[in-house]
A and B are shown apart, each in its own frame.
Chain A
């Protein structure tokens, strides 16, 4: 199978729907099939990377620790859109791991450079 470059654009908050966790599983699966996969978090998607998610109270599994294993899954880059953080009153220090924070112009170039774009 020919290798492709795939970009997952995550725009939804976690837990209100299952889109976020399912998109992540799909991204890891594509990476396991040797495609070059990167992740983008923008709009409410930036919330998926908040640290200290305590989900026992809502009876759902906290899937955020999986993000930290991105290198093990051979994900290429994890990008977060800066403006999305700012309009949500979020700081980089509130995120559960180091990410590449980029502006909209840089994000446009990232999107252009990938063959397949998926969203959550």
Chain B
């Protein structure tokens, strides 16, 4: 069984990401939305935490939320996959279930 974890809070202000990573399975994916998208920026502590999931191509970020915060593609960690809202919906069908962390 595979789960898409949805994280919507900043990794700097809430421990949602850290807690999610403690229990996450190999088949699971993570999508960052709303304030959580700031984890995409290069040279931040959050990047170290999600390195493996980025390499496994199971790390997704909602592009409209990045654009709203002025975070440009050039300043985003390499290997991260950006999706739009349609892509987000599609992702939820590619995993068996979703689990939200806020």
Question: How does the 8 Å CB contact mask read for A14-44 relative to B, with 1 for contact and 0 for none?
Answer: 1111000000000000000000000000011
Please judge, given known A-B contacts A58-B64, A89-B42, whether A13 and B10 are in contact too, CB under 8 Å.
Answer: yes
How many whole Å from A10's CB to the nearest CB in chain B? 13
How many whole Å from B60's CB to the nearest CB in chain A? 16
Of B20-28, B48-56, B67-75, B92-100, the one touching chain A: B67-75
Interface size class of A (residues with CB under 8 A): 20 to 34
- Asked if B18 CB lies within 8 Å of chain A CBs, one says no
Contact residue among A15, A87, A89 (Cβ-Cβ distance under 8 Å from B68): A15
Please judge, given known A-B contacts A44-B10, A44-B12, whether A50 and B65 are in contact too, CB under 8 Å.
Answer: no
Spell out A's residues near B (CB within 8 Å). 11-17, 43-44, 47, 50-55, 57-58, 60, 62, 64, 87-90, 94, 96
